[in-house]
Amino acid sequence: FSSFPGMPKWRKTHLTYRIVNYTPDLPRDAVDSAIEKALKVWEEVTPLTFSRLYEGEADIMISFAVKEHGDFYSFDGPGQSLAHAYPPGPGLYGDIHFDDDEKWTEDASGTNLFLVAAHELGHSLGLFHSANTEALMYPLYNSFTELAQFRLSQDDVNGIQSLYGPPPASTEEPLVPTKSVPSGSEVPAKCDPASSFDAISTLRGEYLFFKDRYFWRRSHWNPEPEFHLISAFWPSLPSYLDAAYEVNSRDTVFIFKGNEFWAIRGNEVQAGYPRGIHTLGFPSTIRKIDAAVSDKEKKKTYFFAEDKYWRFDENSQSMEQGFPRLIADDFPGVEPKVDAVLQAFGFFYFFSGSSQFEFDPNARMVTHILKSNSWLHC
Amino acid sequence: AYPLSGAAKEEDSNRDLAQQYLEKYYNLEKDVKQFRRKDSNLIVKKIQGMQKFLGLEVTGKLDTDTLEVMRKPRCGVPDVGH
């Protein structure tokens, strides 16, 4: 990686941006979300945060133009130069110009706006080009980048963190005890006795424990769970999830947040998602679910919301009649609200706050109560 | 003047492409003459610098791979600091 000569960088961590005009190639909201996604790429690995202005002078002014457009670098028609940006500073500095003689697209059929925007934002934040062909800051546009799997290379992360450092409290075990529920900017502590999880799922034999913007990954071969940003594997997924579960027979993990859900296979988010949760058969009164687990033997998926649960038949792909039922009636000893559920070794593990209830479905009773983070060798 | 043969024309356009590319992204001074002298040491060095940065074989010549890369879409920010 490299920074601009003189190493210009922003002297503040909260920056503003403004989308000054739009390309006719895409709907406005597609441009908005491409830019937001590109900002998030850098937000995740630095202390930087961004907010949008709709008028006046922002730090990063984003515009589309063709040929000569008022600076010293006129564009060159379709091809070659796609966009350019200026290093941090006042006025023109920090700004991004896209060549509107390119065909801007949301996918790879033309020039992908998200990918180019993420690169140009690297310049707006002070990164120069990288000679690492795997890096986002490599100067040539790589149309074969797997968009769903996009992740910053270590070279990019090293470069931007050489300017701004890592996200706050970047060590996994923060030096100072965090509050029981870390706020957005803190990193969750694995062995915090009060720790809880947002969602838990298996994935091809591994266990994923989601929390805030991160997840712990527990595999068979590595006793020490790995710790990652969700966006490092699935950039288009939200954070602060509600629920997650794997349907083994479909080699797919379903991720829920609010009234939407995504399908992921490995680290690829499947096309056609997110979908609305009501397409699964929930009543419109349900705004979100708290937890879910799929019983691979019975091919039934259980959805938990507040003190009730639903059962979904994976064969007929429909919600079963006679639901919702009360959790307390069929899972005695499990206290709502349920944060996450895991099926393993013939038991169901219900996670609620810092407690975990091991439930034996045959005996229909709770057999153990453990700490939620016992799976992380705490 | 003799009409340029196809090969000579192509060579000319390749040199033009390379000259613009090096001026735009590798800080080459805009000076037509020096580019005409193919063996100009400065040009060879600039071509080698570009090939090294972009991960190409460093030949100092406008070989096929180098010409192909120069035709690829890219960011408009130079690779060498002004």
DSSP symbols for A115-151: HHHHHHHHHHTTB---S-TTSTTSSB--TT--GGG--
3-state DSSP assignment of residue A59: coil
Mean per-residue pLDDT of chain A = 89
Please, which pLDDT band fits residue B7 given cuts at 50, 70 and 90?
low
Catalytic pick from A102, A120, A246, A358? A120
**Between chains, do A116 and B75 touch, taking CB under 8 Å as contact?**
yes
pLDDT at A172: 40
Is the separation of the CB atoms in A137 and A119 below 8 Å? yes
Whether A164 and chain B come into contact, CB under 8 Å, resolves to no
How far is A277 from A283, CA to CA, in rounded Å? 9
**Between chains, do B25 and A139 touch, taking CB under 8 Å as contact?**
yes
Whether B67 and chain A come into contact, CB under 8 Å, resolves to no
pLDDT at B5: 65
Q: Which long-range contacts (CB under 8 A, 24 or more apart) does A265-271 make?
A: A266/A204, A267/A148, A267/A149, A267/A233, A267/A234, A268/A146, A268/A148, A268/A149, A269/A148, A269/A234, A269/A236, A269/A237
**Between chains, do A123 and B74 touch, taking CB under 8 Å as contact?**
no
Phi-psi region of B33 (alpha: psi -120 to 50; beta: other; left: phi over 0): alpha
For A173-211, the pLDDT digits (tens) are 333 333 233 344 467 888 888 889 999 999 988 999 999
**Between chains, do B75 and A139 touch, taking CB under 8 Å as contact?**
yes
Handedness of CA A287, A290, A295, A298 (dihedral sign): negative
In this structure, which amino acid lies at residue A236?
S
Interface of B with A in 43-62 (CB under 8 A): 52-55
Q: Is A120 a catalytic residue?
A: yes
**Between chains, do B54 and A82 touch, taking CB under 8 Å as contact?**
no
**Between chains, do A85 and B77 touch, taking CB under 8 Å as contact?**
yes
How far is A77 from A198, CA to CA, in rounded Å? 48
pLDDT at A348: 96
pLDDT at A339: 95
Name which residue leads in pLDDT, B3 or A93.
A93
A369 token code pair: 């109560």
How far is A248 from A243, CA to CA, in rounded Å? 16
Radius of gyration of chain A (CA): 23
Chain A residues lying within 8 Å of B24, measured CB to CB: 81
Q: How far apart are the first and last CA of chain A?
A: 38
Three-class SS string for A166-218? CCCCCCCCCCCCCCCCCCCCCCCCCCCCCCCCCEEEEECCEEEEEECCEEEEE
Which spans in A263-341 are helix H? 327-330
The answer to ipTM > 0.95 is: no
Closest CA to A303 of A362, A261, A359, A270: A261
Whether A79 and chain B come into contact, CB under 8 Å, resolves to yes
Chain B residues lying within 8 Å of A115, measured CB to CB: none
For chain A, 378 residues long, give each residue's pLDDT as a single digit of tens.
999 988 899 999 989 999 999 999 999 999 999 999 999 999 999 999 998 888 899 999 999 999 999 998 999 999 999 999 999 999 999 999 999 999 999 988 899 999 999 999 999 999 999 999 889 999 999 877 677 778 899 999 999 999 999 887 644 433 333 323 334 446 788 888 888 999 999 998 899 999 988 999 987 666 678 888 888 888 888 888 999 999 998 999 999 998 889 999 988 888 888 888 988 999 888 888 999 999 988 999 999 998 999 999 998 899 999 999 999 999 999 987 899 999 998 999 999 999 999 999 999 999 999 999 989 888
Chain A residues lying within 8 Å of B73, measured CB to CB: 79-82, 102, 111, 140-141, 143
pLDDT at A365: 93
Return the number of other C-beta atoms located less than 10 Å from residue A282's C-beta.
21
